[in-house]
Homo-oligomer: A and B are copies of this chain.
Amino acid sequence: MATIGDVARVAGVSRSTVSYALSGKRSISPETRRRVDDAIRELKFTPNAGARSLRTAQTGVLGLLVQFHEDEFAPAMLQYILPITETARTLGYDILMMTENDGAEALTRAAESGMVDGLILLDVIDGDPRVDALRATHQPGVLVGLPGDTRGLDVVDLDFVAAARNLVDHLVELGHRDVVLVSPPRHVFDRGGTYSWRFRDAAVQRASEIGLKLTARYGESQQPAIDANLHEILDESPDATGLIMHNDASVAALPRLLHERGVRVPDDLSVVSLYSRDFARWFSLPYTAIESSPGLLGKVAITQLTQRIAHGDDAGPHGTRLVAAEIVDRGSTR
């Protein structure tokens, strides 16, 4: 592998000139520039990342901390990972992906060893140990998912409160009076997945405000429990005319299950949910839904993080950005 010294020798200039030609941080005569460029091309020179990061204390790498919970639906995670990786690259960063169970330890290791310039925490929950680890490192970081205590943190999440209200209003406007909500599994509530109760509590409150009967139930995330749970829920609310699905694994199973029960959508039952366009495509889901916007969330998160890396506290106050909840009408309600 060629070094900057090799390039300097071939071009007949000093190493600093090669470095400045690369960075553009001072002006170079056209003739010198040409010779340097030729030498770089001839030697296929690429600056060594380790040396550069040692000198500049910048790596051009962001650490992405992904966690997989048994009670969550793994394929949904990919929707977030991909746009994050792509947005990062657009801004000149690569992604170091860390999937360890002990996310706090992984985060600390990446930060303390200077492997990354910043950190993205995916699927953050209330009381998430990674958040304490992030605070301890003094590294720039951004959370996707809202914890309880956000002091001093940059956070991005979907506006689940607005999402729940929108869906409730949508059904009420169509004349529904008896609706069932299928939430994430109870275990998600218990371990601090704030999106679960933010959505449910907002739906319950909105329903009571406008006189809708709303029955909130826990869903499941693993077969065969999903099917049994959905059958039970539907059996126990025979008069419900609307169904709000806030559960990835359950809504993915719903089309087949409703077909088995002979329930037609929207003729017999109006169904609304919350998921992304990609998710709808992968699972052939035909329901009107709040767009969960993983691509936008990833983009906002990475943009915020890179500005924090570049400007520190001058990038503005730390805070929470809730992405607006927009409804995509797929005709599954009436």
Cross-interface CB contact of A44 among B50, B94, B112, cutoff 8 Å:
B112
Q: Are B252 and A283 in contact (CB under 8 A)?
A: yes
Within the oligomer, what is the number of copies of this chain?
A: 2
Measured CA separation A278–B249 after assembly (Å)? 13
Residues of B within 8 A of A109 (CB): 46
Residue A10 CB within 8 A of the other chain: no
Stretch at the interface among A25-33, A72-80, A238-246: A72-80
Kindly list chain B residues whose C-beta atoms are within 8 Å of the C-beta of A89: 98-100
Quick one: closest B residue to A61, CB to CB?
B96
Binary contact readout A69-112 vs B (1 if CB under 8 angstroms, 0 otherwise): 00001110110011001100100001111111000000001101
Stretch at the interface among A156-164, A200-208, A255-263, A288-296: A255-263
Chain B residue nearest to A260 in the complex (CB): B259
Chain B residues, Cβ within 8 Å of A48 = 54, 113-114
Task: Verify B223–A284 contact, CB threshold 8 A.
Answer: yes
**Assembled-state Cα–Cα distance A331/B44 (Å):** 58
Complex: chain B residue closest to A224, CB-CB: B284
A68 within 8 A of B: yes
Residues of B within 8 A of A222 (CB): 281
A53 at the B interface (CB under 8 A): yes
Cβ-defined partner of A82 (8 Å) among B61, B94, B99, B278: B99
Instruction: Name A91-150 residues within 8 Å CB distance of B.
Output: 94-100, 109-110, 112-115
Q: Is the CB of B54 within 8 A of A51?
A: yes
Tell me whether A59 is interfacial, beta carbon within 8 Å.
yes
- A1 at interface (Cβ–Cβ under 8 A)? yes
Residues of B within 8 A of A81 (CB): 81, 97
Partner of A114, one of B50, B64, B68: B50
Whether the Cβ atoms of B112 and A99 lie closer than 8 Å is no
Q: For A222, give the chain B residue with the smallest CB separation.
A: B281
Q: Is A5 an interface residue (CB 8 A)?
A: no
Which residues between 197 and 233 of chain A lie within 8 Å of chain B, taking CB atoms? 222-223, 226-227
Which are the 7 A-B pairs with shortest beta-carbon distances? Answer: A46-B112, A50-B53, A75-B75, A50-B54, A49-B113, A256-B256, A49-B115
Can you give 8 contacting A-B residue pairs, CB < 8 Å? Answer: A49-B115, A50-B52, A50-B53, A61-B115, A74-B278, A94-B98, A95-B97, A283-B283
